Amino acid sequence: MAARREKNPSAERKGKNTQNGTQTSQVQWGRAWEVDWFSLASILFLLIFAPLIVYYFIMSCDQYQCSLTDPLFDLLTGNKHLSDIWSRTPTLTYRAAGIYTLWVTFQVFLYVFIPDFCHKFLPGYVGGVQEGAVTPAGAVNKYEINGLQAWIITHVLWFANAYYFHWFSPTIIFDNWIPLLWCANILGYAVSTFAMIKGHFFPTNAKDCKFTGNFFYDYMMGIEFNPRIGKWFDFKLFFNGRPGIVAWTLINLSYAAKQQELYGQVTNSMILVNVLQGIYVLDFFWNEAWYLKTIDICHDHFGWYLGWGDCVWLPYLYTLQGLYLVYHPVQLCTANAVGILMLGLIGYYIFRMTNHQKDLFRRTNGNCKIWGKKPEYIECSYMSVDGTKFYSKLLTSGFWGWARHFNYTGDLMGSLAYCLACGFQHLLPYFYIVYMTILLTHRCIRDEHRCFSKYGKDWKCYTAAVPYRLLPGVF
Ligand code: NDP
């Protein structure tokens, strides 16, 4: 389908394709061809403020015991100047640069040079060489799915070091957290800039590049769809999963080790955060092949949003709960701990089962059972640019009958559980649930806009059958 559409690029650029009776701009594949002023303003805002937000959060923990309001208060009342805060901020060190270089090199090595062996002995796990979705230009990329293996090897080495070799302290990440932030930024900006240059001068697949002519938009949202070096080094898969997500659980372990060092014990809240986020990370790697079919890989181009976001935003802001608990060790009463654990596990169950139901339904073309019954669905169709008609199905039973994005609801319940584990003393740990709510609500709207463009009146039938997005009866 995409290959045929790409044969008619002028029609695509004009953005006037008729699909299922709806006039639509070309939004369903990757990012836009044209930039409206609102998108441009949002992008400039993010380019300027996202790095400052990360710095502000981490600095608040380092200098203000995780208070988000005290630094502002100090600055507004003239108690402190920006230069005072900046002068107390740890700088880039050779040690941090060495650690970071070693870390990234090791992850590149695991990604490129060690073919997956987990799928050979783990029943049900899909690893090794897998195909991604069809790109807008009609290409189908092959990926070496070996993230679970990289995660296992890295963590085995981590524990071997902590309990046996003692090459370095398990608090190493916490102890170098701000110097490492500068390294992560250098890599994030370097890789985004490289991706921009590569998109212009030596793209992997020229037909899968998009140019808006606006420098900032192209830098942020990316030009190339699937930039690669050589046959296997895929930027999106590598930066999305490693070094950020492999690091996520190591960062949490380092925080737990720091609690142990400082207070002689690890609190139950820290264990909860480590366990719940650990399950989420492991789930990501267990389902890495499935992940090739999600919006991140299927629709987003590789620019600063993914490059910098994966290097800096994700490892620094997704791990705020653990960082907070180093400064404020919270020991939850058993009832609260159990309640939070249940919320996290139920959230995870909903997230996983909802994703699984759609995956099973689509893989079997509806020839499966959802909750023990034949699935209910709405037949839908869409047309490619060249007029070819395609058929698809939208599931309306199981969790997909409750709401149109119940997988996001489960994700949000899990996110809330991490935050609640930190108690109610400070705002900082709650950043994650606020951010995820904005991210997933925006994603809902973005995805539905795309689906409406694609399915037209059939999508309307679907939204009539399943009227709510996230919370049945509410939204
Ligand atoms: P989904 O997995 O929900 O995929 C949306 C697509 O599924 C739609 O575009 C449509 O594609 C298809 N679809 C929609 N409704 C139906 C239906 N009723 N039946 C069958 N197919 C349907 O979204 P994402 O890719 O965004 O998310 C995947 C997971 O990743 C989610 O669980 C989310 O919570 C998680 N996530 C986590 C993030 C984080 O930072 N922690 C960030 C983003 C996502 P089609 O064109 O094929 O019809």
> How far is ligand 1, taken at its centre, from the CA of residue 48, in Å?
29
Q: Is the CB of 443 under 6 A from ligand 1?
A: yes
How far is the C-alpha of 22 from the C-alpha of 30, rounded, in Å?
19
Which of 350, 360, 447, 459 is the pocket-test mutation for ligand 1 (most atoms within 8 Å of CB)?
Answer: 447
Tens digit of pLDDT per residue, the chain (475 long)? 232 333 333 333 333 333 444 433 344 445 566 677 888 888 899 999 999 999 999 999 999 999 999 999 999 999 999 999 999 999 999 999 999 999 999 999 999 999 999 999 999 999 999 988 777 777 788 999 999 999 999 999 999 999 999 999 999 999 999 999 999 999 999 999 999 999 999 998 888 888 888 899 999 999 998 999 988 899 999 998 888 899 999 999 999 999 999 999 999 999 999 999 999 999 999 999 988 877 778 778 999 999 999 999 999 999 999 999 999 999 999 999 999 999 999 999 999 999 999 989 988 988 899 999 999 999 988 776 566 777 888 999 999 999 999 999 999 999 999 999 999 999 999 999 999 999 999 889 888 888 888 888 989 999 999 999 998 877 8
Which of 392, 408, 434, 469 is the pocket-test mutation for ligand 1 (most atoms within 8 Å of CB)?
Answer: 408
Q: Which atom of ligand 1 lies at the shortest distance from residue 400's CA?
A: 18
> How far is ligand 1, taken at its centre, from the CA of residue 354, in Å?
10
- What are the structure tokens assigned to 53, written together? 């937000």
- Domains of the chain, residue spans: 90-331, 334-474
